[in-house]
């Protein structure tokens, strides 16, 4: 390697090391153990159900208002965070302004999923995750 490349590499390494050391012991404690189920669920546009909640499973806990039920529901589903497949024909039905984002780790896999109620497919996808996501009346009755 050239001296310039080595100098750049050293600078990047030092910057990363400084960032980690500045974060201190609290940041080290927030790192999840491999395989730990931990999700952060952020809901908006859902009225009283709005908020950001932490969900842990095995054992069920966190700040989620229905942690036990939510963990049970997730355990029942094969691919709880799968998006609607491209090309799927969906009804033109609006279920309201609610949106949600779920991030974290589930069954050893990274999760970063967004939910809305913009059409029939998305409403079904949302409803499939109740009580992980809040149950909402889509006005389809």
Would you list the DSSP string of 78-89?
A: SSTTPPPPTT--
What is the model's pTM? 0.73
Q: Cα 107–109–114 angle (5° rounding)?
A: 105
Q: How far apart are CA 45 and CA 99, in angstroms?
A: 6
Residue ranges making up the domain that contains 116: 34-141
Give me the residues of the chain with pLDDT under 50, please.
1-32, 140-141
Same domain for 82 and 23:
no
Same domain for 42 and 7:
no
Same domain for 18 and 43:
no
Same domain for 94 and 56:
yes
Residue 47: name the closest of 97, 102, 94, 117 by CA: 97
Q: Is 129 strand, coil or helix? A: coil
Residue 87 confidence (pLDDT): 96
Same domain for 72 and 15:
no
Residue 19 confidence (pLDDT): 39
Same domain for 126 and 59:
yes
């Amino acid at each position: 390697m050239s001296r310039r490349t080595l100098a750049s590499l050293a600078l990047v390494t030092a910057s990363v090391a400084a960032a980690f050391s500045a974060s201190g012991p609290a940041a080290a404690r927030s790192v999840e153990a491999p395989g730990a189920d931990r999700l952060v669920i952020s809901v908006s546009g859902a009225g009283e159900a709005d908020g950001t909640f932490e969900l842990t499973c095995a054992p069920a806990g966190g700040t989620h208002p229905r942690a036990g039920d939510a963990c049970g529901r997730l355990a029942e589903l094969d691919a709880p965070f799968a998006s609607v497949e491209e090309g799927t024909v969906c009804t033109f039905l609006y279920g309201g302004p609610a949106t949600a984002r779920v991030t974290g780790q589930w069954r050893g896999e990274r999760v970063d999923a967004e939910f809305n109620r913009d059409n029939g497919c998305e409403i079904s996808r949302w409803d499939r995750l109740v009580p992980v996501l809040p149950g909402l009346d889509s006005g389809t009755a």
